[in-house]
Structure 1
Amino acid sequence: MTVGEKIKFIRNFRGMTQKELGVGIGFDEKGADNRIAQYETNYRVPKKDTLLQIAKVLDVNLLNFISEVSGSAEDIMQTFFWLDEDNPGAINLFQLVRNPGECYASDDTSVRYNDSDDWPAHPPVGLWFKYGVVDDFMREWLVRKNELKAGEITREEYLEWKLNWPSTCDTSIRIKKWKR
């Protein structure tokens, strides 16, 4: 998603009008909605200080709009989170289980699965990171996705967790229902 598409998505999730967002970040009421519409259609690109204000008004982490370090753990996770929103169901997470008797047994990296209707027609490709903090983040994301699937959290709570991540992650101070 583009920055403009993300602004629109989050604004709609928050139930705000373009005018409310524009006024909230300090634009004159007369043209506030027009300016936000220009951002959302990518006609104009907001500057960093404007994105900071937008993030504050929308009550989301600035990481949704700006990555300070390309390829950082936070950047990787935000990319995955937005792909998940743009194409729900495209990312399927599952926990691998260690087979202690087979440690370092061979260079075979195959992961076996029991075929069922839940799997695609062709075997999927797995991905794992040798990047400790990303592994930790991915593990927690799996927990949140499983909570959503089990009905333990709502779709809104799940999205709230992603929009304010990493301040909502388990390693941060946990606030009830992941809201600030």
Structure 2
Amino acid sequence: MRLRSPYRHCGNTQTRSIPKGLLALQFVLAHFTTGEKIGVSESTIRHYETNFRTPKQPQVEAIAEALDISPLALKDFRVENARDLLGLLLQLEDEFGIVPAENESGLSIDVSAEKAPKTTQMLKAWAAKRNELESGRITPEEYADWKAKF
């Protein structure tokens, strides 16, 4: 399984106010601490992130637990362009009921699909959290933390 770096957000506009040296130090300390918590070296963690080595599922779960995030936050779904995204959505159509919306520019849920009720519930939770972010009730960092733990 390819891993996505849990630190991938470190270069975005949310962190530009942090001096680069401090950000690099935090990055190194996070690697060291994570490796220490799960009994592997910092270089092993870096090898996982660069796909030089591939962790087994128990190791992925240990990393996620050490970082206090969901193991899915580490999974790289390999969606790199719109075609990849459409392929993924087509795979999800039958089971989760994700279909094109009538206005042709969005998605909706086909309630007859097996997992549509749970999908709808999760989308409502996501919409509520996005609303909190957009209204300023939570910070971008709090929103990123929520997404990582979901």
TM bucket (normalised to shorter chain) is 0.5 to 0.7
Residue 8 of structure 2 aligns to which amino acid in structure 1? F
Q: What are the superposed Cα offsets for residues 112-155 of structure 1, whole Å, 9 maximum, x if unpaired?
A: xxxxxxxxxxxx62211121111111122111111101100011
Distance 2:64 2:54 in 1: 14
Distance 1:10 1:60 in 2: 14
State the aligned residue count.
108
For the residue of structure 2 that corresponds to 1:128, the secondary structure is: strand
Structure 1 contact 22–33 (Cα < 8 Å) conserved: yes
For 2:51 and 2:7, the matched residues in 1 are separated by 11
- TM-score of the aligned structures, taking structure 2 as reference length: 0.60
User: Once the 2 structures are TM-superposed, how far is the Cα of residue 26 of structure 1 from its aligned partner?
Assistant: 0.8
Q: In structure 1, what residue type is equivalent to 2:105?
A: V
Deviation at 1:10, TM superposition (A): 7.5
Q: Residue 152 of structure 1: which of 125, 131, 137 is its match?
A: 137
Quote how far apart the aligned CAs of 1:18 are.
1.9
Q: Unaligned stretches of 5+ in structure 2?
A: 16-25, 80-100, 111-115
2:22 aligns to what? none
Task: Tell me which residue corresponds to 1:48.
Answer: 57
Quickly say closer, same or farther: Cα 1:61–1:162, change in 2 above 3 A. Answer: same
Superposition RMSD in Å = 3.0
Amino acid at match of 1:141: W
- 2:103 counterpart of 1:128: no
Match of residue 6 from structure 1 = 5
Structure with more of its chain in helix, by fraction: 2
RCO greater where, 1 or 2, for CA within 8 Å and sep 6 or more?
Answer: 2
Cα distance, 1:7 vs structure 2: 3.8
Match of 1:173 in 2: none
Matched residue SS, 2:108: coil
Aligned to 1:98: none
What SS does the corresponding residue of 1:22 show, helix, strand or coil?
A: helix
1:139 to 102, 105, 124: 124
